[in-house]
Amino acid sequence: MRYVVIDTETPNMANDRMSSIGIVVVENREIVYRFGTLIDPETYFSPFNVQLTGINPESVCGMPTFGDLWHILRPILESGVIVAHNAVFDLCVLAKCLNAYNIVWRDTVPYLCTVRLSRSVFPSVRDHKLNTLCDHFGIELDHHRADSDSAACAGILIKCMETCADVNSFIRTFRLVK
């Protein structure tokens, strides 16, 4: 099975545009591909999001837009089950970006949430926040940096796969089109 681990950062609380995306592909419990980039969201940045992510208008000046990147993102996202930590958030951001750029893709996608998975596989961990799990497993994390967050999530997925024989039983379907 191929897993496409994603993380998105957004410029504001509308969560309808991305300012960064990180993607890590996992096959046979190994990371086989990494991609990360800043994205020009073509919208305003809230002070809260700038403080949280460190991404501001100057950071994304001259960077591609989501529409510019879609031809790169689409084949990667189509190549496996999408995985994310708090997956519904990242999938909602993806759905809203597709809508904002008038991109028609799929009605639904299969996904796996590492929060839900780790709660089941590692119930004794204090909480299942990304940074807590990274501390617990010794996984490197530069939090709220999409490339680092997606790599950390991939590490958590691999830890879960090493412990749980059937992570695929946690796969759900997300409706992109409302």
Instruction: Identify the CATH number of the domain in which residue 143 sits.
Output: 3.30.420.10
Residue 164 has pLDDT above 90, yes or no: no
Instruction: Dig out the tokens for 48 from the structure.
Output: 């809260």
At residue 59, the pLDDT reads 97
What values do phi and psi take at 93, rounded to 5?
Answer: -60, -45
CB 154 within 8 A of CB 31: yes
pLDDT per residue as tens digits for the range 29-75: 999 999 999 999 999 999 999 999 999 999 999 999 999 999 999 99
| pLDDT score, position 62 | 98
The average confidence (pLDDT) of the chain is 97
**How many distinct structural domains can be found in the chain?**
1
Statement: the pTM of the whole predicted model exceeds 0.85: yes
Work out the pLDDT band at 81, boundaries 50, 70, 90. very high
Tell me the residue range of the domain where 37 lies.
2-175
